[in-house]
Amino acid sequence: GSKFVHMVYQFARHVMIEDMKKLSLGTGILLPKVQKLRPEDMHVVKARHRVANNKLLKILQKEVYVIREYGKKAR
């Protein structure tokens, strides 16, 4: 459901941020400080978050559909 999609989205976001931190070590990029700043317009942030959640949900639904169709054809 939507709670699972939200959890997967949060996990993917966390993994991406941690990966960016590792890649930015020694380059002089201040990523850890920048990521914790709060944006001024929270409406835009919430809208982007909804869009990202919806895209992830569509991807997961398509993946389930493809797996089911592949299973049907394999029989």
Question: What mean pLDDT is reported for the chain?
Answer: 78
Stretch 21-37: mean pLDDT, rounded? 61
pLDDT of 24 > 60? The answer is yes
Asked if residue 17 lies in contact with residue 35, where contact means CB atoms within 8 angstroms, the answer is yes
pLDDT of residue 38: 62
Question: Interior CA angle at 38 toward 47 and 22, to 5°?
Answer: 100
Instruction: Report residue 40: phi and psi, to 5°.
Output: -70, -40
3-state SS, residue 26:
coil
Token pair in block for residue 38? 């709060």
The share of the chain scoring above pLDDT 70, in percent, equals 79
The share of the chain scoring above pLDDT 90, in percent, equals 13
Q: Rounded to whole angstroms, what are the CA distances from 18 to 32, 37, 39, 40, 74?
A: 9, 16, 20, 24, 39
Q: Where are the domains of the chain?
A: 1-36, 37-74
